[in-house]
Amino acid sequence: LSESGVPQLVQPMIWDYAADLDVEGKVHLIEKYRRCGFSKVWFASAFKGATGVNQSLTLIGHHLKNHLQWLKVASSSPADVLEGIALTGWQRYDHFSVLCELLPVAIPSLAVCLQALKNGGYSEKIKENVEKLLGMSNLETDTFMR
């Protein structure tokens, strides 16, 4: 890869939507990319979708845990390596599938994930801020929203 010149042309994106992603494995992967000459990498997470083809509601806690794991990867990696994170929002698993988790039901998850990334973590205060921003009385992260 180093000799091909590709590392000067592109930046790899590491995708993982798991709530329990392997932080150490991702850090090692970043180190491998660095040794090949890639100076920057991107992360890809999901704020909705990616949990089941027939999912209709968004389980916020799953996506929040994924983002908190990505924050651990970022803090365990060299400070200058992360270019950014793409928050994907899967709505269809292939062109022949029905739509799943439409955007309106996932907006609370998007807000929680963005706030967790912005603040470097998640706390009761951040939860209260999201509730206030969205005009919600009780943001549920471990069960489906009612």
**Tens of pLDDT, residues 104-133:** 999 999 999 999 999 999 999 999 999 999
Residue 57 binned pLDDT confidence (cut-offs 50, 70, 90): confident
Asked, for residue 2, whether it belongs to a domain, the answer is no
Q: What is the pTM of this model?
A: 0.92
Tell me the Ramachandran region of residue 47: left when phi exceeds 0, alpha when psi lies from -120 to 50, beta otherwise.
Answer: alpha
Asked, for residue 145, whether it belongs to a domain, the answer is no
Residue 15 binned pLDDT confidence (cut-offs 50, 70, 90): very high
Asked, for residue 106, whether it belongs to a domain, the answer is yes
The domain that contains 107 carries what CATH number?
3.20.20.80
Per-residue pLDDT for 98 more than 90? no
Asked, for residue 144, whether it belongs to a domain, the answer is no
Phi, psi of 21 (to 5 degrees): -60, 150
Q: Can you give the residue range of the structural domain that contains 25?
A: 13-134
